[in-house]
Amino acid sequence: MKDNNCIFCKIAAGEIPSKTVYEDEMFRVILDLGAASEGHALILPKEHYANLMELDEKTAAAVLPLAGKISKAMMKGLNCDGLNLVQNNGEEAGQTVMHFHLHMIPRYKGGAEVIEWKPGNPKAEEMEATAEKIKAAL
Ligand code: AMP
Ligand code: ZN
């Protein structure tokens, strides 16, 4: 299904031009207009899924092999030193376009910091309670 109001649906369908690096029947991979580093790309499914929770299993199963393929091409073609995969779900998590996408961000020695968080120090009993909450919801 497509969403007529979704910019990534239109880009994935080729209705809005993009710098495409890969395309097949399920996905289009484009360069991010606000690239965090040289080669920052987005894997877009051609069908509309708002986020990871809505993604269908077939698409989900195909995303990581494709990310692996693009990663190898980035390492070879861009000569990057590593890369981060980032996938935001929900506004609070930084998602600004509500069409599932996987960021692929090449990293270069001495390059800008891209992903940072301050490590916390949860107590063992807090971790136990947290784990129980997730397990109970599975
Ligand atoms: P997120 O914050 O995870 O939703 O990421 C959305 C990303 O889409 C941002 O990194 C934007 O720079 C990028 N973006 C938004 N519009 C376009 C566009 N038309 N073409 C390419 N990248 C885009
Ligand atoms: Zn969409």
Kindly give the distance from the C-alpha atom of residue 17 to the centroid of ligand 1, in angstroms, as a whole number: 14
32 lines ligand 1 (CB under 6 A): yes
- Give the mean model confidence (pLDDT) for residues 61-78: 98
Whole-model pTM over 0.85: yes
Per-residue tokens: 94:
């930084």
Supply φ then ψ for residue 23, to 5 degrees.
Answer: -150, 140
Among 24, 12, 89, residue whose Cα is nearest residue 50: 89
pLDDT tens figures, 79-137: 999 999 999 999 999 999 999 999 999 999 999 888 888 999 999 999 999 999 999 99
Active site residue 48: no
- CA torsion, ordered 114, 18, 88, 50, to nearest 10 deg: 180
Q: Which atom of ligand 1 is nearest to the CA of 40?
A: 10
Determine contact, residues 48/99, Cβ cutoff 8 Å. Answer: yes
Per-residue tokens: 120:
């916390």
Q: What number of other Cβ atoms are within 10 A of residue 30's Cβ?
A: 21
Dmax (CA) for the chain in angstroms is: 52
Residue 51 CB partners (closer than 8 Å, separation 6+): 89, 90, 95, 98, 100
Q: Which pLDDT band holds residue 45 (cuts at 50, 70, 90)?
A: very high
Q: What is the mean pLDDT of the chain?
A: 96
The residue with tokens 């207009």 is 33
Per-residue tokens: 122:
């949860």
Answer yes or no: is pLDDT of 63 > 90: yes
Kindly give the distance from the C-alpha atom of residue 101 to the centroid of ligand 2, in angstroms, as a whole number: 10
- Give the mean model confidence (pLDDT) for residues 4-13: 96
DSSP 3-state of 35 = coil
- Nearest-ligand number for the alpha carbon of 54: 2
Q: Pairing relation of β-strands 82-86 and 27-31?
A: unpaired
Per-residue model confidence (pLDDT) at position 113: 85
- Nearest-ligand number for the alpha carbon of 46: 2
Q: Which of 1-10, 29-38, 39-48, 89-98 has the lowest mean pLDDT?
A: 1-10
